[in-house]
Amino acid sequence: MIKEFVIRNVRDGEEEKLEKFGFVLKMLFLYHGDLDKRNMFLAVKDEEVVAVAHLMLHDTFDAEGHDEDQGFVRYLTSEINFADQDEDEEIKDALLDAMIVRAKEIKAQHPEKRIVIAQYTDTDDLPELSYYLKRGFTVYDTIAVFKYDLSRVIPQYPLPEGVQIRPYVLDNNEAREQYHQAELASFDGVAWSMNQLAWMQGAEEMTNFCAFSGDQFLGNTSTWRIAEGHSATENVFVIPGWQKQGIARNLLCTALEYLKDQGKTIATLGTHGTNKKAIRLYTQIGYELEGFRLTLGYAID
């Protein structure tokens, strides 16, 4: 049977064709410094774009200090979007095949890296889980998602002497480099790229709450809009040497107070299901489990 569609890369000047899949996707194509345009694909049927897919380098891909760890996974995150809610599995298969072929080309450029295509899926989305498992993906990680009811009283905790928490705009290279180095130190060499960090500063309702001791950058919590009344409280970290002193609690509670003042009703965050320290922190503050997401992965050999 002859296919009634073609899969090809997005071409320069076609960004308007992406807008019906979401304004953010259009902006990603135009402005995200980490997007290799060879990693974005269109499904075209009867001269109309019906679906789009792309790969992005995850923050693990260029993580520092893991070159000798052969088990360390470098993720390429994947996403497939259809123009309407009725997915065509043949087209979805073809887009996924195109991303796998592209991932193999990337693997050939980095033969020493253990590269895996990642797909994030809620545990209750059984059709989506079934599709990717059928296509050879397996479960690599479980992400616990927590929510905070902002109608609650938000707790207060003492800060170490000389430590201040304040909103901090990462609108210049010096500020972003300061943040980036602190994140690298906090997450064992895994951090957003400078391009991703700059990109996220344009997210809707993005605010960074940062802790300082004098001019020293100690830690961060970021918020951004998820939906009406719902914001994220993510990117929670404190650099080694300043951990276990109540700074992370204060960062989160400062962000929660801010969101409450903004009229938000729910704040959410996610963490690896194995991160006992983070889970203990969040639940002690008052976050409650909302659900789980799975990282499904396809290993590129």
5 vs 85: CA distance, rounded Å: 18
What count of Cα atoms within 13 Å lies in the side-chain half-sphere of residue 271? 22
The reply to whether 130 and 186 lie within a common domain is no
Residue 72 belongs to a domain with what CATH number? 3.40.630.30
Same domain, 150 and 103: no
Q: Of 136, 158, 178, which one is at a domain's C-terminal end? A: 136
- Alpha carbons 208 and 227: distance in angstroms, whole number: 18
Confidence bin at 248 (pLDDT 50/70/90)? very high
Cβ–Cβ under 8 Å, residues 247 and 238: yes
User: Does the residue 18 lie in any domain?
Assistant: yes
**In this predicted structure, what is the pLDDT of residue 2?**
56
Q: What is the pLDDT of residue 3?
A: 73
What is the pLDDT at residue 172? 93
Question: Is residue 300 a part of any domain in this protein?
Answer: no
pLDDT tens, position by position, 179-198: 999 999 999 999 999 999 99
Residue 1 has pLDDT above 60, yes or no: no
The residue segments making up the domain with residue 79 are: 5-136
Mean pLDDT of 289-298: 98
The overall average pLDDT reported for the chain is 96
Q: Are residues 123 and 161 in the same domain?
A: no
The tally of domains found in the chain comes to 2
Asked if the structure places residue 73 within a domain, the reply is yes
Residue 9: pLDDT above 80? yes
Domain boundary residue among 80, 112, 136? 136
Q: Does 278 lie in the same domain as 253?
A: yes
**What pLDDT, on a 0 to 100 scale, did the predictor assign at position 180?**
97
Burial 234-252 (b: 16+ CB within 10 A, else e): bbbbbbeebeebbbbbbbb
pLDDT computed for residue 86 by the predictor: 81
Q: Please check whether residues 194 and 62 belong to one and the same domain.
A: no
Average pLDDT estimate for 213-227: 97
Task: Check residue 242 and give its pLDDT.
Answer: 98
What does the pLDDT read at residue 75? 98
pLDDT in tens, 45-100: 999 999 999 999 999 999 999 999 989 999 999 999 998 878 999 999 999 999 99
Which one-letter DSSP state was computed for residue 173? Answer: H
Do 223 and 258 contact (CB within 8 A), yes or no?
Answer: yes
Q: Are residues 153 and 123 in the same domain?
A: no
- In terms of domains, do 154 and 61 share one? no
Residues 6+ apart with CB under 8 A from 79: 53, 54, 56
pLDDT digits (tens, 9 = 90+) for 130-166: 999 999 999 999 999 999 999 999 999 999 999 999 9
Percentage of the chain lying above the pLDDT 70 cut: 99
pLDDT at 297 over 70: yes
- Judgement on whether residues 230 and 207 belong to the same structural domain of the protein: yes
Residues 95 and 154 in one domain: no
Residue 18 has pLDDT above 90, yes or no: yes
Assess whether 129 and 162 both reside in one domain. Answer: no
* Contact in structure between 283 and 106 (CB atoms under 8 Å): no
